[in-house]
Structure 1
Amino acid sequence: MNFADALRRLEPAAEITALGTVRGLDTTLIPARGYPLELIPPVPLPRELNPALLRTPGRLAGSARAAAAVLDRVRAEVVVGFGGYVAMSAYLAARRRGLPIVVHEANARPGIANRLAARMTTHVFTASPAVRLAHATAIGIPLRQAITGLDRAASRDAARRRFGLCPEGPVLLVTGGSQGAQAINDAVSGAASALRAAGVQVLHITGPRHAVEVPDGEPPYVVVPYVDEMRYAYAAADFVVCRSGAMTCAELAAVGLPAAYVPLPLRGGEQRLNAMSAVAAGGALLVDNAALDSAWIEATLIPLLTDPERLGAMAARASAAGASDADVVLAGHVLAAITERRAVAR
């Protein structure tokens, strides 16, 4: 959707149709952003040999036919894919129709759909140079303008008032992503007394299904289940403890927020790889999920949070590891692919 917004800014007359499935948040998020949504059957790929795997080729063919019908109906001139269940069907349909394919891979470890599509096209873009895909050019991850245009220093006081935080003193932002993370919640809330004793404020986003109990006191330890507009949380904070999903890493680098990344201990270590560029640049720490506890917060994090010079240096290095124009860059390449196709068709 961030890419689609950029494409519409560059070419207001562009007709954009999103492909999605009933799985996940497609039916909620896409219409809310103002784009038409066409649904096709999802085809998840089983990870082990079982009857479902044997049925996958037939299901994929059916989904690709459904995608092709959408491409014909909207008279598509290009297909832009970001991987996942929908992308594989769309790539196959685009190839059969002779449409240009543009691929963007956000994760450090590409999925099957994008690995296959990278062999079908030379228009391949990634979040970082470390992502290995054929023909790939690293451009970063398309982000919302509200994030890339955020001036944290100018917005800090208003953002802190929004959450009931004091204008002075370090603020630690804690988040486990949209659903929260129990390990992160337990470790930081368990160190609440030590954080308060050190003068550290906390903005703790627990996730809607989690809760932590922290006694009232000063400095503030603010607990909320969810934040709709993360730019305010980023503006209020000096440091973040969080998972290292690709979008989270990209957003924190774009706004120059240092972090302690706690990779989700699943998915083949993908989240660890996502964080490595910021860690290598000196803008982030990496801590294993099993090693994160209140003792780590007290021994490692509090000395950092109470050292303004070290925090400032890490923020500068975090910012240097980011890219803020990937949405516009990708949109420009897509428009170029359309222009090239039209020229060939004449």
Structure 2
Amino acid sequence: MRAVLTGGGTGGHIYPALAIAKGLQERFAGTDILYIGTNRGLEADLVPKAGFPFKAITVAGLERKISLANVKILWQAIRGFQEAKALLKEFRPDVVIGTGGYVCGPVVLAASRLGIPTLIHEQNALPGITNKLLSRVVDQVTVTFEDSRKYFSKGVKVGLTGLPIRPEILQAERHTALNNLQLKDDLLTLLVFGGSRGARRINQAMVDVVREFGNSQSIQVIHATGQTGYDEFIKDCQNKGIDLDKYVNINIKAYLYNMHDALGAADLVVSRAGAATLAELTVLGIPSILIPYPYASENHQEFNARALADRGAAVLVKDKDLTGPLLVKEIRSIINDAERLRNMSLASKRLGRAGALNDIIDCVEKILPRH
């Protein structure tokens, strides 16, 4: 079999595409993969490193206001469509799969026009503009969140699959994770992170959390500040008279290279609300306090967070409302109520989809020509 994957701009679009590519090769021996993206996105770096052939086309995202720049962008889109069409004719794929980002537009549209079976996967609870438009021409839409269905037009074939999870996350086990992190197994573990670059607002609130729970006999804390926020966080603690060396239960890291262990050890998580993060939390059944990144496109992280909060798996705190005292209050109200913590964990687990990758590959298989 031959398959084209496309998706770009951010890791949130690229990593699911790479997981699907690997899943196809596992399901269908000898599958040839071609990844089509842009030279401006992360895919130009990540895809070759993952070992897949990569081709770039000319395309850019439209600005959200009327401008002369959009005229140029529309011209690039036409050019990108023609380039994608030429690549598809040359590669002759059996299926084309898009995972979001503006590069998907010309590639998936060209595939549809050429009569090639097409599938798109939407990671977020609020579908992006590109995927909403493409949903009208593709053979199958797959989604991470049940809440996404209502945003697609009636008659669009939508399948709830979840988001592919890294194997090391699926294999995470609490006792092993605690040992690897040199943490105690008789304390609750609070894991806090804001993404690879951190989240300044969360870091600022965490100063009060550290002071409140330092040397607690009931909870241990792992806080990843992000590489760019580490020095500022340490300085903020010092300015408030906090001596981190005296708090044996507080672990401050710039970056967590072993996130699978951190998640495996966690009883409660404080984080942003990216789709991949929430997929990992729910597959492991971890309760969470979610602070959506307010500048995500179309505020999609808040929609992601609400998908969990409305089902009892998380508490949603808006970034603009986040303060140290509020975060301390929310953490304390959960960890001091064993029944609530347990119920949140069960609600989170019910939303998890460990078989997401297989479900997506099943959907691909159903639209292949022989079917």
**Partner in structure 2 of residue 286 of structure 1:** 316
**Partner in structure 1 of residue 37 of structure 2:** 20
Aligned with residue 271 of structure 1, among 296, 301, 311: 301
Whole-angstrom CA distance in 2 between matches of 1:325 and 1:65: 36
Contact 2:59–2:73 (8 Å) recurs in 1 = no
**Partner in structure 1 of residue 168 of structure 2:** 146
Count of residue correspondences: 337
Aligned in 2, Cα 1:206/1:111: closer, same or farther, shift over 3 Å? same
Contact 1:170–1:306 (8 Å) recurs in 2 = no
State the TM-score, normalizing by the size of structure 2. Answer: 0.85
**Partner in structure 1 of residue 130 of structure 2:** 113
Is 1:329 equivalent to 2:351 in the alignment? no
The structural deviation recorded for 1:146 is 2.0
Whole-angstrom CA distance in 2 between matches of 1:263 and 1:66: 37
Aligned with residue 188 of structure 1, among 206, 212, 215: 206
The structural deviation recorded for 1:121 is 2.3
The structural deviation recorded for 1:319 is 0.7
Contact 1:160–1:166 (8 Å) recurs in 2 = no
**Partner in structure 1 of residue 119 of structure 2:** 102
What's the secondary structure of 2:283's corresponding residue? helix
Aligned with residue 312 of structure 1, among 336, 339, 342: 342
Map residues 253-272 of structure 1 onto 2, 5 A cutoff: 253-266=282-295, 267-272=297-302
Whole-angstrom CA distance in 1 between matches of 2:180 and 2:143: 32
**Structure 1 residues 97-106 or 302-311, which shifts more?**
302-311
Deviations 1:109-166 (A, max 9, x none): 212211121111231111122112232121111222222x2343343332332xxx33
**Structure 1 residues 323-332 or 262-271, which shifts more?**
262-271
**Partner in structure 1 of residue 225 of structure 2:** 206
Tell me the C-alpha RMSD between the 2 structures.
Answer: 1.9
The structural deviation recorded for 1:53 is 1.1
Whole-angstrom CA distance in 2 between matches of 1:298 and 1:96: 54
The structural deviation recorded for 1:44 is 1.0
State the TM-score, normalizing by the size of structure 1. Answer: 0.91
Whole-angstrom CA distance in 2 between matches of 1:5 and 1:82: 14
What's the secondary structure of 2:97's corresponding residue? strand
The structural deviation recorded for 1:96 is 2.7
Whole-angstrom CA distance in 2 between matches of 1:291 and 1:217: 30
Contact 2:125–2:307 (8 Å) recurs in 1 = no
Whole-angstrom CA distance in 2 between matches of 1:281 and 1:115: 25
**Structure 1 residues 190-199 or 256-265, which shifts more?**
190-199
**Partner in structure 1 of residue 277 of structure 2:** 248
**Structure 1 residues 307-316 or 295-304, which shifts more?**
307-316
The structural deviation recorded for 1:296 is 1.1
Whole-angstrom CA distance in 1 between matches of 2:129 and 2:320: 29
Contact 2:125–2:300 (8 Å) recurs in 1 = yes
**Partner in structure 1 of residue 25 of structure 2:** 8
Report the AA paired with residue 24 of structure 1. G
The structural deviation recorded for 1:197 is 4.8
**Partner in structure 2 of residue 227 of structure 1:** 256
Report the AA paired with residue 280 of structure 2. E
Whole-angstrom CA distance in 2 between matches of 1:94 and 1:48: 29
Whole-angstrom CA distance in 1 between matches of 2:117 and 2:191: 42
Contact 1:173–1:237 (8 Å) recurs in 2 = yes
Whole-angstrom CA distance in 2 between matches of 1:336 and 1:146: 28
Aligned in 2, Cα 1:218/1:241: closer, same or farther, shift over 3 Å? same
Aligned with residue 106 of structure 2, among 86, 89, 105: 89
**Structure 1 residues 205-214 or 320-329, which shifts more?**
205-214
**Structure 1 residues 70-79 or 319-328, which shifts more?**
70-79
Aligned in 2, Cα 1:42/1:209: closer, same or farther, shift over 3 Å? farther
Deviations 1:228-256 (A, max 9, x none): 34211101211111011111111110111
What's the secondary structure of 1:146's corresponding residue? helix
Aligned with residue 137 of structure 1, among 159, 163, 182: 159
The structural deviation recorded for 1:188 is 1.0
Identity %: 30
- Structure 1 runs not aligned, ≥5 long: none
The structural deviation recorded for 1:95 is 2.1
The structural deviation recorded for 1:315 is 1.4
Whole-angstrom CA distance in 1 between matches of 2:252 and 2:178: 19
**Structure 1 residues 176-185 or 289-298, which shifts more?**
289-298
**Structure 1 residues 178-187 or 294-303, which shifts more?**
294-303
Deviations 1:199-236 (A, max 9, x none): 32211111121112152123332222222342111012
The structural deviation recorded for 1:310 is 3.1
The structural deviation recorded for 1:294 is 1.2
